[in-house]
């Protein structure tokens, strides 16, 4: 072990060297380098490696406790054993407080005491370094954990430690937080809840898991935390601290709530789809029965009469021709009715002539049925668009016109179809009473929900805006082809 002895008294130097070197039977030998002033000692430390320092506080170039302070400032990690001719307890305590590993009175020094003091000084210093390294490591972990970590003293429940995530969550620096209780930081209701949970943890000496607790923060407003509180016990089992780990679950709860609402809307839409499907089937069945069924029955009766006429040779030919012409007209009417039903189920013009022509036909049919003037403006006659997107766009436009007829109380509708970047824009604008803002996100507005779902299914964007007394505008933007 290499020792730097900083001592200006030759007699003390000789005695100390003898105590370290002569008669040392231990496995570890001492190598002593001597200097008599502080400045050369610091220079020696810069040029050579030493394990410890024997330091006399009374030197020609430095006196008293300041000698130790200067040495520590220059070499803070070096183990130092202070030597003094004075049996001064106050000076001894000051030396230890300033970083010395031991304080020895020269008159009381024995070989075994001096050797043991130096060995212990080196070991204590090594332990201090290891402990400091461990603390830095743990502190780095705690500081970089994304959840709030805090520590309270068990007696007064005041904060004694916070990490960076805690500062960011609460909106205060740790200097502001440390030393304060919950009642100095949060509303009384929250502080009562936090304190009751803390007391429960310390009383039962068991971890408490709080799945969700609200907290009003300075910068982020109301947040929701998942907190675990853990008692820290001493060697006798008595609680001395309370450790808290809080995860901010606000965004997760919001996402879960949004997902739950989406599931509920999807369930509602699915149920509505079943109802609409059954209503459509009922309507088609009724029309087939009332229109086609009746017409086909009449046609059968006419055929029976015609057969009877043909058997009666006295029946005038003119009457037969008249009956045939009437039957022919009935067939034409029946064919037109079948075509109408087919067009309502899926207009053939959508498959034959494309989306633009189908929307133009839809506007004409809407005006004929509702009596509301409908103007269709298209910047092109034909657009290349995938069948699935064309169908969805047509149905959205159809639903928008149905809503106009049912709710808008409009006298005019303008439908615009034009290019928009690499896609198409379809805009339906009326001059009605305007859709109320609360209806836009109302789960009961199933028509709007269906339009939004169709738009999302094809990767489009749907915007609906209404102005009281000035009408409603529906804008659908979509790419022409799948990405």
Q: What's the total number of domains in the chain?
A: 4
Specify the residue for token string 């990490």: 163
Coil/strand/helix, residue 250: helix
Domain boundary among 248, 283, 303: 248
Residue 300 forms part of a structural domain: yes
Residue (of 162, 160, 171, 244) closest to 210 by Cα position? 244
Domain at 78, CATH number: 3.40.50.2300
Retrieve residue 397's tokens.
């436009």
Residue 254 forms part of a structural domain: no
Q: For 88-144, list the strands marked E by DSSP.
A: 102-105
43 and 149: one domain?
A: no
Tell me the CA distances in angstroms from 400 to 231, 340, 367, 458, one per residue in order: 62, 21, 14, 17
Residue 260 forms part of a structural domain: no
Domain boundary among 232, 248, 264: 248
127 and 220: one domain?
A: no
Domain at 194, CATH number: 3.30.450.20
Mean pLDDT of 76-93: 88
Retrieve residue 408's tokens.
């808008």
Coil/strand/helix, residue 224: strand
Residue 264 forms part of a structural domain: no
> For 42-53, what is each residue's pLDDT tens digit?
888 888 888 899
Count how many residues are written for the chain. 483
Q: Which residues are bridge partners to 215 per DSSP?
A: 223
426 and 393: one domain?
A: yes
pLDDT of 286 over the 80 cut: no
- 383 pLDDT band, cuts 50/70/90, is confident
Residue 433 forms part of a structural domain: yes
Residue (of 93, 81, 155) closest to 122 by Cα position? 81
Retrieve residue 266's tokens.
């999807």
Domain boundary among 294, 327, 345: 345
Coil/strand/helix, residue 403: helix
Residue 202 forms part of a structural domain: yes
Retrieve residue 226's tokens.
């998942």
Q: Quick one: pLDDT at residue 318?
A: 74
Residue 217 forms part of a structural domain: yes
159 and 285: one domain?
A: no
Whether 181 contacts 153, CB under 8 Å:
no
Q: Quick one: pLDDT at residue 31?
A: 87
Domain of 355, in residue numbers: 347-479
The CA dihedral of 382, 385, 387, 388, to the nearest 10 degrees, is -140
> For 107-138, what is each residue's pLDDT tens digit?
888 888 988 898 898 888 888 888 888 888 98
Q: Give the C-alpha separation, 477 to 426, whole Å.
A: 7
Residue 266 forms part of a structural domain: no
Whether 80 contacts 93, CB under 8 Å:
no
Of 80-84, 158-162, 215-219, 371-375, least confident by mean pLDDT is 215-219
Pairing of β 461-467 and β 412-420:
unpaired
Q: Give the C-alpha separation, 42 to 64, whole Å.
A: 17
Q: Which residues are bridge partners to 475 per DSSP?
A: 427, 463
357 and 458: one domain?
A: yes
120 and 188: one domain?
A: no
Count of CB atoms situated within 10 Å of the CB of 111: 16
> For 457-469, what is each residue's pLDDT tens digit?
888 889 999 998 8
């Amino acid at each position: 072990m290499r020792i730097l002895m900083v001592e200006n008294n030759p007699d003390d130097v000789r005695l100390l060297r003898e105590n370290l070197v002569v008669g040392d039977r231990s496995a570890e030998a001492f190598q002593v380098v001597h200097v008599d002033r502080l400045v050369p000692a610091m220079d020696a430390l810069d040029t050579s490696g030493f394990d410890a320092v024997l330091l006399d506080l009374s030197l020609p170039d430095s006196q008293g406790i300041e000698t130790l302070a200067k040495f520590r400032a220059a070499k803070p990690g070096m183990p130092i054993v202070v030597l003094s001719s004075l049996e001064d307890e106050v000076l001894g305590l000051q030396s230890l407080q300033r970083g010395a590993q031991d304080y020895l009175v020269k008159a009381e020094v024995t070989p075994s005491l001096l050797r043991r003091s130096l060995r212990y000084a080196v070991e204590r210093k090594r332990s201090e370094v290891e402990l400091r390294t461990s603390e830095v490591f743990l502190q780095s972990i705690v500081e970089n954990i994304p959840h709030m970590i805090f520590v309270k003293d068990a007696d007064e429940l005041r904060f004694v430690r916070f990490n960076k995530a805690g500062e960011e969550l609460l909106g205060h620096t740790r200097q502001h937080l440390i030393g304060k209780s919950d009642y100095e930081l949060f509303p009384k209701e929250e502080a009562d809840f936090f304190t009751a949970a803390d007391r429960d943890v310390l009383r039962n000496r068991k971890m408490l898991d709080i799945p969700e607790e609200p907290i009003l923060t300075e910068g982020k407003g109301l947040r929701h935390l998942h907190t675990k509180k853990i008692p820290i016990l001493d060697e006798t089992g008595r609680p001395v601290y309370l450790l808290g780990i809080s995860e901010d679950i606000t965004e997760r709860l919001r996402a879960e709530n949004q997902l739950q609402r989406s599931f509920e809307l999807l369930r509602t839409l699915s149920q509505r789809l079943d109802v609409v499907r059954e209503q459509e089937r009922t309507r088609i069945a009724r029309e087939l029965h009332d229109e086609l069924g009746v017409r086909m029955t009449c046609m059968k009766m006419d055929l029976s009469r015609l057969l009877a006429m043909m058997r009666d040779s006295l029946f005038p030919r003119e009457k037969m021709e008249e009956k045939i012409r009437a039957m022919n007209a009935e067939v034409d009417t029946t064919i037109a009715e079948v075509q109408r039903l087919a067009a309502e189920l899926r207009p053939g013009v959508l498959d034959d002539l494309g989306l633009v022509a189908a929307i133009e036909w839809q506007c004409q049919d809407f005006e004929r049925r509702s009596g509301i003037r409908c103007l269709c403006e298209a910047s092109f006659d034909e657009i290349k668009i995938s069948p699935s997107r064309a169908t969805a766009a047509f149905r959205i436009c159809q639903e928008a016109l149905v809503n106009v007829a049912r709710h808008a109380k409009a006298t005019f509708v303008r439908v615009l179809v034009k290019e928009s970047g690499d896609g198409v824009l379809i805009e339906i604008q009326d001059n009605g009473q305007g859709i109320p803002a609360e209806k836009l996100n109302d789960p009961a507005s199933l028509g709007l929900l269906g339009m939004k779902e169709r738009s999302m299914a094809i990767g489009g964007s749907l915007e609906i805006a209404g102005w009281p007394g000035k009408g409603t505008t529906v804008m659908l933007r979509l790419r022409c082809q799948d990405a």
